[in-house]
Structure 1
Amino acid sequence: MNFLKVFSNKVTPKEVAKDRLRLILIHDRGSLAPEMLDKIREEILEVISKYIEIDGEDVDISFNRAEDEEGNSGPALVANIPIKNLKSR
């Protein structure tokens, strides 16, 4: 099945979200404007809502600093998204 995906030009929501998150992390140091964080939050919730019923009231998405196993510090996108139910496809 993955073999056929190579020939598809359609970009999946997962790939779009992944690319956006990569750009955010490249921006580094969590120095995003609040408006940008709101836009990211909206888009992440839009993609996730296609597959999972979520509780939009209690969503918490933020940028923090995280340490890896070697003690190096870097930016981290932290998302706490309560799930109500899984959608069947």
Structure 2
Amino acid sequence: MGFFDFFAKNKSGNVAKDRLKLLLVSDRANCSPEIMEAIKNDIIKVISKYMDVDTEALDIQITQTQSEDGKEVVPALFANIPIKDIKNGNPNK
């Protein structure tokens, strides 16, 4: 093990962190973690047809924002999806 390997995050730690984040997001959205995971997987599946995405760095959050009329607070989905490359050609192939 090298010097910098000591400071590298372990895989299980990242998985636990992602699960906790997903749990917190699903709580804010008032839906189950399973539904949030399905949403995340569907987003990745659709975008992956057109782009190579960094699924490890993907961040999906549900926050509260003002409605268009400004009279109420509504949930909003924000997704930060790092793109590695744009695919060329027909996405259906």
Instruction: Specify if TM > 0.5.
Output: yes
Deviation for aligned residue 1:68? 3.8
TM-score, normalisation: structure 1 = 0.62
State the TM-score, normalizing by the size of structure 2: 0.59
Q: State the percentage of identical aligned residues.
A: 43
4+ runs deviating over 4 angstroms:
none
Match of 1:56, SS? Answer: coil
Which structure has the higher relative contact order (CA within 8 Å, separation 6+)?
Answer: 1
In the TM superposition, 1:34-49 aligns within 5 A as 34-49=33-48
Residue in structure 2 matched with residue 74 of structure 1 by the alignment:
74
The equivalent residue for 1:31 is 30
- Point out where structure 2 has 5 or more consecutive residues left out of the alignment: 1-27
Cα separation, 1, equivalents of 2:35 and 2:61? 11
CA RMSD, aligned part only? Answer: 1.6
Query: Match of 1:54?
Result: 53
Q: Which has the larger radius of gyration?
A: 2
Structure 1 alignment gaps of length 5 or more: 1-28
State the number of aligned residues: 61
Displacement of 1:76 after TM fit? 0.6
